[in-house]
Amino acid sequence: MILSAIVYAPFSVMTYPLPLHWRYWFISQYPALNVWWAKVTCGLDYRIEGMENIPDVPTVVFSKHQSTWETFALTMIFRPQVWVLKRELLKVPFFGWGLAVLEPIAIDRAAGRSAVDQVLEQGHERLSRGCWVMVFPEGTRTAAGTRRRYKLGGAHLAVHWGQPVVPVAHNAGDFWPRRKFIKTPGIIRMVIGAPIPTAGRQPAEVMAEAEAWIEETVAELRGTPVPARPGSNRVVQTTKEAQT
């Protein structure tokens, strides 16, 4: 992955004069290459479920964030897409340079309310250009079986501009853990949920529905209870367990 980034990044920067859709096609071959290489070398296969739930028109996507794998795989499903991410990532040598060419919504996390305004303004501009807006509501990768507080920035964007939210759940963290070099062979499952409507709703309400679906689906994929929300000691049963 590191070697391919060193080779690919300079060519990616050279695509900057091209239209965004062309840049995206070229640069997205890098994550596709690494998903394939992980399958060949590490035995990491995958299954995508719920493709029929993807709207015909680009909108806002909320995804669980456990691994590097889903950041690669999602670029192959929602095309073209831009990420809402922390500005510091653009400074990472090679990887950050190529990422900057894709015009992500890069925010200063310490900016407070102005960070939300950045997401609203830039998010609308990207949506109007036919890009999916990819949001990891937890803000950073979480270890498998854990969760962080879901931030409302992406929900504000979706509600403000009347965009439905497409939730995505997966169990990639069980096979490609964060901050771990060794990968575990197996089949990663990613599930795309039905779009969540936002018309006439509050951002907190939309986020609560998306969070509940994502966390319950991840727990079902892993065969474990839903982890408690941050600040709570309560462990929530999965939907199937509750029905039983």
Instruction: Compute φ and ψ for 130, nearest 5 degrees.
Output: 85, 30
pLDDT of residue 111: 64
CA distances from 40 to 67, 237, 238 (A): 18, 36, 33
pLDDT of residue 85: 83
Specify the higher pLDDT residue, 10 or 195. 195
Tally the domains of the chain: 1
pLDDT of residue 97: 81
Q: What is the CA radius of gyration of the chain?
A: 18
Specify the higher pLDDT residue, 63 or 6. 63
Please report, to the nearest 10 degrees, the dihedral formed by the alpha carbons of residues 134, 140, 141, 146 taken in order: -110
pLDDT of residue 238: 45
Q: Which two tokens mark 74?
A: 């999602």
pLDDT of residue 232: 62
The runs of H, that is alpha helices, within the chain are 2-14, 20-27, 29-42, 69-77, 95-101, 113-128, 153-160, 203-222, 239-243
Q: Rounded mean pLDDT of 114-125?
A: 86
Residue 53 lies in domain: 2-243
Q: Rounded mean pLDDT of 182-189?
A: 96
Q: Rounded mean pLDDT of 213-238?
A: 82
Quick check: 240 pLDDT over 60? Answer: no
For 93, what's the count of Cα atoms within 13 Å in the CB-facing half-sphere?
Answer: 4
pLDDT of residue 109: 67
* Tens-place pLDDT, residues 135-167: 999 988 999 999 999 999 899 999 999 999 999
CA distance 140 to 138: 6
CA 94 and chain centroid, separation:
21
Please report, to the nearest 10 degrees, the dihedral formed by the alpha carbons of residues 97, 98, 101, 105 taken in order: -80
pLDDT of residue 96: 85
Query: What is the share, in percent, of the chain residues with pLDDT greater than 90?
Result: 69
Quick check: 193 pLDDT over 60? Answer: yes
Average pLDDT, the chain: 90
Supply the CATH number for residue 46's domain. 3.40.1130
pLDDT of residue 160: 95
CA distance 130 to 195: 17
Q: Report the b/e string of 205-237 with b at 16+ CB within 10 A.
A: ebbebbbebbbbbbbbbbeeebbeeeeeeeebe
pLDDT of residue 239: 44
Please report, to the nearest 10 degrees, the dihedral formed by the alpha carbons of residues 118, 91, 149, 163 taken in order: 40
CA distance 87 to 20: 19
CA distance 194 to 206: 13
pLDDT band at 110 (very low <50, low <70, confident <90, very high): low
* Tens-place pLDDT, residues 22-58: 999 999 999 999 999 999 999 999 999 999 999 999 9
